[in-house]
Chain A
Amino acid sequence: MSEIDVRLVDVVKRFGDSNAVDHITLDVNDGEFFSLLGPSGCGKTTTLRMIGGFEQPTSGLIELQGQDVTWLPSYKRNVNTVFQSYALFPHLTIEENVAFGLRRRGVKDAEVKSRVTDMLRLVELPGFEKRKPNQISGGQAQRVALARALINRPAVLLLDEPLGALDLKLRKQMQVELKRIQREVGITFIYVTHDQEEAMTMSDRIAVMNRGKYEQLGNPESLYERPQTRFVAGFLGVSNLLAGTVDGTADGYALVKLADDTRLRIPAALADGNTQIEVGIRPEKVRMNTPTDAIPAAANQLDGTVTDVSYVGVSTQYIVDSKSGIPMTIYEQNIERTTNGSLYRQGDAVRLSWMPEHTFVVGSAPTTAPGD
């Protein structure tokens, strides 16, 4: 069992008459790379600022390594922050910036010097000691901000969209680097981002936030394979959602009747006693077939017409209008069909198929949060 580093208990932050953070309870484990993922304005920064001590919760409790820090000022918390804007001190050199935390704790000169040197080497900026923040690039500033926080060996490092200002290439590079550094120093990271791909590739666990709450918390795989709400299904990747009514069982599967009387099979456990549900299927898990192709008996089938084809390189994206009236998105790997030169074309009649095990179910109740 890993220890819990950060614990939020029923935390609320109210600005005026709306809740920026709305009753959040969560535990972050020691050494974990934990991400807060969500659209702009959902309360990620506010949550992070409360953990960092820059903002006090309206109600609720915040614990760091078992200690209640809800009302502790930030300089008394064993937490450091990498700010979105880096917030490097413009009047100090890179060396002095990085040493700032150690100086506050009265660490001896010689030790400060050697630790700063080590840290600048870790973030691959040796020789930058004497420069000022306005003499380095955005990516370098980001790494200095990281070094300035990490050098204090905090229990928890908070990062607020630290890669937001970087171009795509540097961003990818820094993602790998951040992950490497996190493994090397073994510190708990709480990482804020609105980029689902970034969160997926880097995190051990992700809390997907929407309107001040998180809708689902789990590892990237479970979030992608088994999203529990419409919002999560749509925010992490692309989903096809088919609304229907649970209508009996067959071969150990639950049957879901769509608007056009098509029956889909889903694992019985997913129906979970509900009658009105939405069945979800990821675009890459759906196969395209001609209406005459043989399809395994257990598979779900849905007939439709191709309305749009776009070639995306590794795959081809099809939009198929299904008979039930719902447009479906399908990704097909470009392996055989391109070499055979027989891609489906707009207007082709197709039969879609997928295995019942690949479906997920989101609650049919519209997930509108209160206070909106």
Chain B
Amino acid sequence: MTAVSQPLNPTAAATTRRPPRRFLHALDHWFLPGFTVVAIGYLLVPIVVMIIFSFNDYQGKFNFVWHGFTLQGWFHPFDWPGLPDAIKTSLFIAFLSTIGSTILGTFIGLALTRYSFKGRGAINGLIFLPMATPEIVMGSSLLTLFVNSGLQGGMLNGIVPKGVLFPLGFTTILIAHIMFNISYVVVTVKARIAGFDRRLEEAAMDLGADELTTFWKVTFPLIFPGVLAAALLAFSLSIDDFIITSFVSGTTNTFPIWAYSIIKNALPVQINVVGSMVFLGAVLIVGLSNIRQARGNRA
């Protein structure tokens, strides 16, 4: 410290400066951390309860009251009529709808960011519509559509081959899930493409890569994190969806539909176990992708 840089009247300067300092200090050291703990607790309580009750040695039909610790639930995670089928259906639909919506959404996202064409603005807006529409509206409208294509005398009867959209079932759930996932994929992928430098593609072509090679060697690897994030989002939205699925599932059960149907008569521990598995699976994937990203940034 040199004399020059000291204030003329040190005490006056200090007293005027101290209050905001103290306030910021309190904000940094007590308020924000405390607030964060409360907020995270709020988020985690339901999950913690779900996991705890997956170890409950419950009596009767409903897993509501703590009776003691057991691993029975985890030893027999799928031991309930209809549960294995529901899980299989859920995973299968989530898997297929993720692939379908990620491919379609990625290309829509690419088209919307790189080409300017008439109606681009309108399409950009339209992409948000399915996200903004209440699920119950989408569900009922899809149901109407499917039924109309299948019923004798329906508006769309004969346009789509019989048995594809009606009777309701696996195919209709899949179509519905791909549809509502596309918007999320487009939005997620577009965010990643927005930061993409087109000159990299020009550089690739300059170095002898044709359009397809350029896409696979340069464009795709660079937007891949966005595509992966979009795919994970689509998968979890699909696994999770209840409202739309309940309209278009017919007699087919996905896990949420099955859980809801059974919950009126029983709440087996298996619901907690499968729920915990899904949660832990999600944590694992997010954790892995974070590690990957951290590596990628360092290397």
Q: Do these two chains really belong together in a complex?
A: yes
Which residues of A are interface residues toward B (Cβ below 8 A)?
Answer: 52-54, 73-75, 79-81, 83, 85, 87-91, 100-101, 104-105, 132, 148-149, 152
B207 cross-chain contacts in A, Cβ below 8 A: 75, 80, 100-101, 104, 148-149, 152
* Partner of A104 from B199, B202, B209 at Cβ < 8 Å: B209
Are A81 and B206 within 8 A (Cβ)? yes
B171-223 interface with A by 8 A CB criterion: 197, 199-200, 202-210, 213, 217-218, 221-222
Are B222 and A74 within 8 A (Cβ)? no
B197 cross-chain contacts in A, Cβ below 8 A: 85, 87
- 8 tightest CB-CB pairs across the interface, nearest first? A104-B208, A101-B207, A87-B203, A87-B199, A74-B205, A75-B205, A81-B206, A91-B221
B210 cross-chain contacts in A, Cβ below 8 A: 73, 75
A83 cross-chain contacts in B, Cβ below 8 A: 199, 202-203
B299 sits at the interface (CB 8 A): yes
Which residues of B are interface residues toward A (Cβ below 8 A)?
Answer: 197, 199-200, 202-210, 213, 217-218, 221-222, 299
Are B222 and A90 within 8 A (Cβ)? yes
Are A75 and B203 within 8 A (Cβ)? no
Smallest CB-CB separation from A132: which chain B residue?
B299
Are A81 and B203 within 8 A (Cβ)? yes
* Partner of A52 from B204, B206, B213 at Cβ < 8 Å: B206
Are B203 and A89 within 8 A (Cβ)? yes
Smallest CB-CB separation from A55: which chain B residue?
B202
At the interface, is chain B mostly helix, strand, loop or mixed? helix
B205 cross-chain contacts in A, Cβ below 8 A: 53-54, 73-75
User: Which of A73, A85, A89, A90 gathers most chain B CB within 10 Å?
Assistant: A89
Are A105 and B208 within 8 A (Cβ)? yes
B218 cross-chain contacts in A, Cβ below 8 A: 89
Are B199 and A75 within 8 A (Cβ)? no
Q: Can you pick out 8 interface pairs between chain A and chain B where the beta carbons lie within 8 Å of each other?
A: A74-B206, A75-B208, A80-B206, A87-B199, A89-B218, A91-B221, A91-B222, A101-B207
At the interface, is chain A mostly helix, strand, loop or mixed? loop
| C-alpha spacing A101/B205, complex, angstroms | 9
| C-alpha spacing A32/B204, complex, angstroms | 26
Are B213 and A85 within 8 A (Cβ)? no
Q: A75-B210, A81-B202, A83-B202 are in contact. List 13 more A-B contacts (CB 8 A).
A: A54-B202, A54-B205, A73-B205, A74-B202, A75-B208, A81-B203, A87-B203, A88-B203, A89-B204, A91-B221, A91-B222, A104-B213, A148-B207
A89 cross-chain contacts in B, Cβ below 8 A: 200, 203-204, 218
CB-CB under 8 A for A152 and B221, given A87-B202, A87-B203: no
B209 cross-chain contacts in A, Cβ below 8 A: 75, 100, 104
B122 to chain A, nearest CB (A): 23
| C-alpha spacing A257/B197, complex, angstroms | 58
Are A87 and B200 within 8 A (Cβ)? yes
A53 cross-chain contacts in B, Cβ below 8 A: 205-206
| C-alpha spacing A104/B216, complex, angstroms | 12
B221 cross-chain contacts in A, Cβ below 8 A: 91
B208 cross-chain contacts in A, Cβ below 8 A: 75, 101, 104-105, 152
Smallest CB-CB separation from B207: which chain A residue?
A101
A73 cross-chain contacts in B, Cβ below 8 A: 205, 210
B204 cross-chain contacts in A, Cβ below 8 A: 89, 100
Smallest CB-CB separation from B222: which chain A residue?
A91
A74 cross-chain contacts in B, Cβ below 8 A: 202, 205-206
CB-CB under 8 A for A85 and B206, given A91-B221, A104-B213: no
B206 cross-chain contacts in A, Cβ below 8 A: 52-54, 74-75, 79-81, 149
B203 cross-chain contacts in A, Cβ below 8 A: 81, 83, 87-89
